[in-house]
Structure 1
Amino acid sequence: MPLTRLAQAAEELIAEMLAHPSQDKFSISPGATLKAWSGSLHVDPHAEFASWSGEFVHGLASFRNLSALLCEWFASSPLRLSRSAETHAEAVVHSALAHATQGTTLRRSQFSQYLLELVEASQRAEATFVLCRRLLGVELLGDSVDLSEPEANYRVGLHSLNDEELTARMPSLDTLQYGLISSDVATLQRVEVRVTRQERLREFDHLFKGPERWRSYLRETERVQEAVLLLKPEAQAELGTPFFLVARPNLGRCAASRLPRSSGPAIFPPTLIHPGELADLRRSFSVAQKAQDHPALRSALHRYALAGSRLRHEDRLVDLVIGFEAVLLQGLQNELSHRFSLNGSSLSHWIHKAPRQPSYHLFRSAYAARSALVHGYGPKVKLHRIESMSDELRHLLASFIQWLILESPDHGLQPRMQADDWLRILFDSPP
């Protein structure tokens, strides 16, 4: 089926919609007026909103014709459909209308282009996605910088948003009404990390919801943050809320409900990156990527980046020391784990009369999980196991603290509680 038929059907729908503009056929704010000329629908600029009535659009013969053509295209696509082709076709027409309506004007050329590109992408079973994420606390002299290697099958870069792009990033009025303002919006900083990749698709829905595998995009944005902080150790930088764009076909913004949300506002003094520092920034980005192959260095760099986003110096110091532990304590992990587990099982035995061996294994497992999470050592621990250990350790730590404060005076420990060797004293004279 030639695409010219689809383009003609799209033109016919717009023509029929614009033939008799009536306020009864549109959802607009009170007092607004509608005018049609030059193939566009224009609404009084004082209108707060304007959108097509679904009941009106569905009643048009041209809508049914266009939906039938789209249905044929989608039925022949190699992509898996989560719903019937008819349902997808009708939803796509409404998405195209929303995409082509800018402000209070409906542009027919954008409507047709949206449909044609979407159909072509569904036949190719591929699309180009762009993950956009604000980098707070950074200013860029220049419009953009590409950080990825020439042979890479994806692009990673920094981009300075212009006024139009910055306005497009602003949340809806409904979002502002409920006070859901993320840190990247509150600070209005212009530097954005973009990760661009062409993806093979398996499902039609991915054209609207983003790629099936999206975590690698997020990891690349984290490498950029780490690179900036390696270049500028004095800087404070934080990543904002990510979202996906579909760049080819040009479908606009995807749903980003699966992606993490930033909270804020976090206001950092801006750190300026000069054009003369771009070579050093690319080298830092390469270092951040290569560090991912070494568990200890990966963990150290992660903690280093966390320190760069902390507002409290105490929190920053904790992250930095943990980062140093990842590098400096590799040879002592077994000794530290044994001491941690032995001391914990002994206290559990004295306080709760618990058997030593199960308690020892609990603390040993907890320390191993801590090392895996903090330093990258050892095998990964399943989430349900982390949750169960966290619950058990939380109760134990509460009982330990209460016992040491309330019960230890009866064992002569209280006078030496401030000494570094109080635990050894307890071992010398156990209760």
Structure 2
Amino acid sequence: MGSLRGGEGRNEDGVKVGLPALEVALAFPQATPASLFPPAVSDYYQLDDLLTDEEKALRKKVRAISEKEIAPIMTEYWEKAEFPFHAIPKLATLGLAGSTTKGYGCPGLSLTASAVSIAEVARVDASCSTFILVHSSLAMSTIALCGSEAQKQKYLPSLAQFKTVGCWALTEPDYGSDASSLKTSATKVPGGWQLDGQKRWIGNSTFADVLVILARNADTKQLNGFIVKKGAPGLRATKIQNKIGLRMVQNGDILLNKVFVPEEDRLTGINSFQDISKVLAMSRIMVAWQPIGISMGVYDMCHRYLKERKQFGAPLAAFQINQEKLVRMLGNIQAMLLVGWRLCKLYESGKMTPGHASLGKAWTSSKSREVVSLGRELLGGNGILADFLVAKAFCDLEPIYSYEGTYDINSLVTGREITGIASFKPAAVAKSRL
């Protein structure tokens, strides 16, 4: 028997064996798919009152644009594992690139406004929120906090408008959680530097115009930072295939083979791993808000779905066990919102510690796991379809649970802070006396 041809519904002999899938609204008219996003109903404790008028206005704007522009296309591009490049101008209108940076065309937002806004994007689509975070909270923030005045003026204005896109490369094949031990080398040569090595899991890297590369100085053995431009000789970025989460994000492997970087593109403010800690501290807060946004979207979807979908002659919302699960989800979200908000206020007041940021990221991603799992249960069979958001959110949360510090590593950062004892490396095995 002949094999099927993808999308045609026929075999090699031309015999029709099937028809294209129905539109989900026709195939399952009992519930509205996520392409028409549900109303926001997760702020049960009215925590919006904690925001300023400006923060509320930005949140409303980001929510409206995300629901109108991203919701209708996200399932298609997530399924294809492609990024919707045509949506970048729409994402630019959010006004989030550069976040807290003032000047250079950046919005100069409060950290709270930035965090709440990234949650609103994640509520609709986690991939788009990650795209913005990599571009803004990592690449742009590194240039803003660690770059020279000339570098800020040269790179930030176009990045702020998404005329150019940035990525940030720290992780390597051999160094994930142990990122400070990276091996990519930077060797001084006439007029600049030569970079050699490999990076992995770098979001936006396959199409980024500006690549912030972290490498080890061959002489000082300390960490240095460099701005590498797209198309530089010896630079190669290839897409990582077969991901189950954040499928729209184009994570890549970067190979650096004698890549020359002029002296003017070395980030003078990075001379040790500690120098990028200020970047990681802020970005970790932003990442802590992604699970909050994802959970909000899942709750909103389940809330609408349970009232629309009927079984045994009644809406699913009428059954006690479903109400209990919905309330458990809602309670988690209220707690997550309070932790996220307090984390922002600690940062803005200069009181936040690395342990604070790590606990926030670890805890919100852990609680979000419970929320999306409950949502998957509530939607039954439709809980495995990306069309109804929950399956997609279930998968998208998994990489977030691991990146910017896994749950375990972030727990150990906080553990070190509260005990004064570092426990990252396993104890040395005693030599046998046999």
**Greater C-alpha radius of gyration:** 1
Higher helix fraction: Structure 1 or Structure 2? 1
- Normalised to the residue count of structure 1, the TM-score between the two structures is 0.21
- Normalised to the residue count of structure 2, the TM-score between the two structures is 0.21
